[in-house]
Amino acid sequence: MNTPGLLKCGGAVVALVIVSACGSAVGDMQVASSGATLNASYVGSTLFVNGRPVTAARLSPLPRYAELVPDKSKSTNYEYIFNHYDTYGSIFDYPKSVGEIGEIKGAGGQGCTNVLYGYGKKIVWNAGRTNDLIDEYEVPDKLIKTLSLSYTYTSSCAMNTSGDLAVGVLLGNSSGRGGQVVIFKNATGSGKVYDTPLAKEYFDGYDPSGNLFADGTVSSYGFMLVELRKGSSKFVTVKTSNSPKFPGSVQWDGTYLTVFDQDTSETYRYTVSGTTAKLKNTVQFSGVGDCAQTWIVAGQMYCGDAGNNDGDVFKYPAGGSPTATFTGNFDVPLGATAARK
């Protein structure tokens, strides 16, 4: 791993007890230590942090905090690790360095950009500044647009090649049921709501044909993958030839539709025909705490690692151990994306 000596640890330390997110028990299970500033619990398989559901499967026992290095970067490529909702997004300029060079205050949750994979063109989106807003930023950190939606807890975001923006809903409003996806045509307006077979939507992503895929859990907490085919008005269930354990990022990687499994730390690469996703191969990762959201670029994958409370860089599709670890100010990393000026 690559860990520079430019950052020194400081500030508060939060202790959390690791509890498996794979259990099926219903009700709160306290996992925060006495006096901790972060409070974590489970309802079924859904992790809540400070009362808000998150798309991570589990947390680190010791989140780390660090002083920032002033932004002296002249880079045009930027990587983003988005932390817990409504906190901040950490900005990096890898491979120039692995140290944090700046923050987007108030950001959090998941991120996406205007390409299916790789480095986005001049903008990034963030679902998670507040419960019902999604923000567009000009790279690296200038807020240029905000869209609103009438749901309490958003989860994911994805953009197709036409510029349509899809935003997932982890939990809904009064009913508590989530699983909806709101699509903003040309990333403007009030958005159109689509119901899905999911009880909770975790991650979504488009393929090059404009089909939108999303994963999440059903009411019995089991994994499910769904698809909204281009031009359709209804999501359908997609049966996978293997059995993913816990929802993770859904993204096109240039060849295959991929689904990351937070429970096994693996990326499954699929070909999709009709309503069946056939597993072609599996990429295994080691040294991972819990990659909540991953983002694939040419030859690499970035991970917002909620389990290790940092950001990881892996070779892709080779997998294996991290080739570098981002250092900086982290607070339950949930999202990752990348874009260039």
- Residue whose pair of structure tokens reads 């959090």 in the numeric block: 108
Q: Going residue by residue through the chain (341 aa), what tens digit of pLDDT does each one get?
A: 333 333 323 333 333 333 334 433 333 333 333 234 678 888 888 888 888 888 888 876 544 444 334 444 566 899 999 999 989 999 999 999 999 999 999 999 999 999 999 999 999 999 987 767 899 999 999 999 999 988 889 999 999 999 999 999 998 875 567 899 999 999 999 999 999 999 999 999 999 999 999 999 998 899 999 999 999 999 999 999 999 999 999 999 999 999 999 999 999 999 999 999 999 999 999 999 999 999 999 999 999 999 999 999 999 999 999 999 999 989 999 999 999 99
Q: What would be the CATH architecture of the domain defined by 77-340?
A: 6 Propeller (2.120)
Domain chopping of the chain, boundaries: 77-340
pLDDT score of 7: 31
Q: Which residues of 259-293 are buried (b: 16+ CB within 10 A; e: fewer)?
A: bbbbbbbbbbbbebeeeebebeeebebeebbbbbb
Residues 207 and 154: their CA atoms lie apart, in Å, by 21
- Residue whose pair of structure tokens reads 């709101």 in the numeric block: 182
- Residue 169 pairs with which residues in a beta bridge? 154
pLDDT score of 38: 73
pLDDT score of 75: 67
Q: How far apart, in Å, are the Cα atoms of 155 and each of 8, 236, 243, 269, 311?
A: 32, 20, 22, 22, 19
pLDDT score of 174: 58
pLDDT score of 131: 66
